[in-house]
Amino acid sequence: MHRRSFLKTSATAGLAGTSAAVSGFPAPAIGQGLREWKMVTSWPKNLPGPGTAANELARRITALSGGRLSVKVYAAGEIVPGNGVFDAVSVGTAELYHSVPAYWGSKSKGILLFGSQPFGHTASEQSGWLNHGGGQALYDEMYARFNLKPFLCGNSGPQWLGWFRNEITSVDDFQGLRFRTTGLASEMCAKVGAAVIAMGGRDMFQALQSGIIDAGEFIGPWSDSALGYYQIAKYYYWPGVGEPSSAEECAINREEYDALPGDLKQAVAVACQSLYDQVLTEYNTNHARALPQLVQQHGVQVRRAPDDLLLALGAAAGEVMAELRDDSDLLVQRIVESFLSYRNSMKTYMQYADGGQMNARLLDFTYG
């Protein structure tokens, strides 16, 4: 797909994903006490993945509220830029946003752990930490500083290391690259010698095309296909250790949220929580479908990152976490300790559980 045709076609693509997957919710009937909320997002309109997930979240909130809370979605740039949604909702320009915590490190580095972490949580572990490991209380405490009430509402699952114009055969080839990434992954990559440049996913296409950057990562095969990176950078590297998963979030202006009656607060919470697994499985399903098309139709070369690069990135990630543990903000310290405690307990167990099953499936035997 050519990037210029994206906005014309992505709405149709979105219908095959999230919005079509949950037809069981009743159509909302507009009732008394109607509230009309604006949802600003960090995404191009109907971008497959996060853009369509934002649409579905708005639909679910509206439906579960019986139409008493009607949410209208605005793409990046329609009210505020994609990187301005946090501040816009904080001050009340809009009532809620859909984005990712990985974009808000300038507010507090502690926020970054709620979205993605280099060599960190899988999608199920991230949900587990918030629901069963004390993470949600810390998430609420951090966002209350900014007049926001946060919820996780989706996850991309494992992301990719990224798109590279040239082949990477060792850590030496990575050093000096102008590389687009976000969140804590940007600090990890900088420690290994990349020149990290922050920008939105759509801007990354233009930056690759013009040579401003040499490589970059966004999400994975499905969403990345829609943005056309394969037209310029043919080497697609895995694993995406910078973001073993990446949570999507909905944050609501705290005053607006507190003013809701209890049943509407519950409608918002259930809409967000019910969408988490739906979004994750949609990503994984469509990534699996998109990857063969990238290879067979567009000549993309899928490559595994060299071991010495992965080892260097892992060592750098350890340095990033050590620096976070020493942050002067006591709340950030508490978030880091909670995250690490949960990660370490799951790391030990999951090698037998998910890790064991995945390795067993790779054995050479006939099945089906």
**Lookup: tokens for 118:** 């280099």
Q: Give the confidence band of 364 by pLDDT, cuts at 50, 70, 90.
A: confident
Q: 334 lies in a domain? A: no
- For residues 305 and 334, give the distance between their C-alpha atoms in angstroms, rounded to a whole number: 33
CATH of residue 115's domain is: 3.40.190.170
Please count the structural domains in the chain.
1
Under 8 Å between Cβ of 265 and 257:
yes
**Lookup: tokens for 192:** 């290994």
Query: What does the buried/exposed string (b/e) look like for 3-28 if buried means 16 or more CB atoms within 10 Å of the residue's CB?
Result: beebeeebeebbeebbbeeeeeeeeb
**pLDDT tens digit sequence for 217-249:** 999 999 999 999 999 999 999 999 999 999 999
Q: 214 lies in a domain? A: no
Using a pLDDT cut of 70, give the percent of the chain over it.
91
Instruction: Write down the pLDDT at residue 340.
Output: 97
Total-model pTM: 0.88
Q: 306 lies in a domain? A: no
Q: 362 lies in a domain? A: no
Instruction: Write down the pLDDT at residue 368.
Output: 78
Instruction: Write down the pLDDT at residue 4.
Output: 39
**pLDDT tens digit sequence for 129-179:** 999 999 999 999 999 999 999 999 999 999 999 999 999 999 999 999 999
Amino acid occupying residue 361: R
Q: 34 lies in a domain? A: yes
Note down the domain range covering 249.
Answer: 3-155+244-286
pLDDT exceeds 70 at position 88: yes
**pLDDT tens digit sequence for 320-350:** 999 999 999 999 999 999 999 999 999 999 9
Q: 21 lies in a domain? A: yes
Q: 320 lies in a domain? A: no
Q: 89 lies in a domain? A: yes
Instruction: Write down the pLDDT at residue 32.
Output: 53
